[in-house]
Amino acid sequence: MGRKTTSQTGVRVREHNTRKYRGRPDKYFMIRYYNSTLKRYFEEGAGWSSRGMNAQKAAKIRAELLGNIQTGKRPQSLKEMRLMDIEREKAEKQAAEKEEKLNISLDTVAQEYLAGLNKSTQLANTSRYNNHIKPIFGNTPLREIDPLSLERFKRSLAKKGLAPKTIHHTLTIIRTIFRKAISWGYYSGTVPTNRVDFPKVNNKRLRFLTHDEASQLLNELAKRSPMTHDQVLIALHCGLRSGEVRGLKWRDLDFKSKVVHLPTTKGQESQQVYMTDPVKEMLLERIPEDAKPEDYVFPDTKGGLQFKISDTFPRTVEDLGFNEGLGPRDATYRVVFHTLRHTFCSWLAMQGTPLYTIQKLARHKSISMTERYSHLLPDQKQDAVRAMAEAFDQKRQHDNTEAREVGR
């Protein structure tokens, strides 16, 4: 490829031997110029005609470089010009990304957050998000959501009649979305929920089932849904939570020792609960001949993890009249699946089981969580005081009798 001059001053061209462009040899244009500051000539490639270069464009670039050399501006070479173009593109890209982050919507982060949850939590949180949060803040940029707008949002949920616990959960989802946005580099501001007062939630349940009510519930469920019956039985006899019941696998059961090994939950180590004879008998009847260790004891229709306990449970509770006259806000008195765990602890207390033992059986983190059942314990303190008083009275009567005899 030999170099040839063009009609443009300082612009030369050479043709490629084999590469074609529009039926002709592709041309490569070069510029030659003198840098008076460095006192030397430079020759640099301007580009191929197949990529949009021609003699006129090359001449224009050369003239720009010569003008910059005379005035001391940048760039003063094609190499420097290309580096500056790369730097400018990089800066523009960073500015665009920064602008995109500034305008990122709550929904964009929320979808990433929800997609990463386990199935059970995902179902509940997605429902709350879609029903309450997305219609109000879904399209709103994170930077435009402030404590005042969240306070107004909180009041609107209360006006709709939502329970404090539901409002608390909803605000917690928003708080988690903002924290995820910070950790993922989408947001650098203050989490607005930090300056919002969350509704106070009373998690204590006062209602527990009597023996008669528990029998009614189990008998009715046995007719309607054997699986729900079995889930209620193990929750009632072992004090299990809904998630623990649904998450049980056959590998977790030790029939010889009559022990259920619960997988790690809430950051704790593996824990044990004890099977009663009715529970052991029920589980042995449930186990399929081809059961595998990793199979769920109470699977969904596809053999996977159940999202929630069947709606047969709340319908049966309502039909039996256990929640008659109670509204959604009467959470401490309503019978729900967690009432079974509360019943387990209450029955233990009523039969005189020490609080420390109840704590271990219920797997409470602290004894303060167990002390709510102390009022159900047999009144041992009153008996102790009564015995003390009776002993004192007996001693006093004895002393008085002796004194009268001496006085005679």
pLDDT grade for 222, boundaries at 50, 70 and 90 = very high
Q: What is the pLDDT of residues 155-210, one digit of tens each?
A: 999 999 888 888 999 999 999 999 999 999 888 889 999 999 998 876 566 789 99
Greater confidence, 252 or 375? 252
Query: How high is the pLDDT of residue 266?
Result: 46
Distances (CA, A) of 192 to 70, 126, 254: 55, 21, 48
Compute CA distances 204 → 156, 233, 239, 338, whole Å. Answer: 26, 22, 16, 11
H helix or E strand, kind and range, residue 25: strand 24-35
User: pLDDT digits over 322-365, tens only?
Assistant: 998 876 666 678 899 999 999 999 999 998 899 899 999 999 88
Structural tokens at position 295: 């199979």
Output DSSP code: residue 310: -
Q: Average of pLDDT values for 309-330? A: 87
106-195 matches 211-376 in fold: no
Give residue 27's pLDDT band: very low, low, confident or very high (50, 70, 90).
very high
CA 103 to chain centre: 23
| Beta strands, E only, 265-309 | 271-274
Arch. (CATH architecture) of 211-376: Orthogonal Bundle (1.10)
**Domain layout of the chain by residue ranges:** 3-100, 106-195, 211-376
**Encoded amino acid at 206, one letter:** L
Bridge partners for 24 per DSSP: 21
Q: If you count DSSP H runs as helices and E runs as strands, how many of each does the chain have, helices first?
A: 16, 7
CATH superfamily of 106-195: Tyrosine recombinase, N-terminal domain (1.10.150.130)
Give the contacts of 62 (CB within 8 A, at least 6 positions apart).
9, 10, 11, 31, 32, 33
For the chain, the distance separating the N- and C-terminal CA atoms, rounded to the nearest angstrom, is 148
* pLDDT range class, residue 307, cuts 50, 70, 90: confident
Query: Residue 21 in contact with residue 29, Cβ under 8 Å?
Result: no
**Once rounded to an integer, what is the mean pLDDT over residues 119-133?**
87
What confidence score (pLDDT) does residue 403 get?
A: 64
Helical H runs in 256-377?
277-286, 312-319, 338-350, 355-362, 367-370
Is 1 a residue whose pLDDT tops 60?
Answer: no
Task: Please provide residue 145's backbone torsions phi and psi, each rounded to the nearest 5 degrees.
Answer: -95, 115
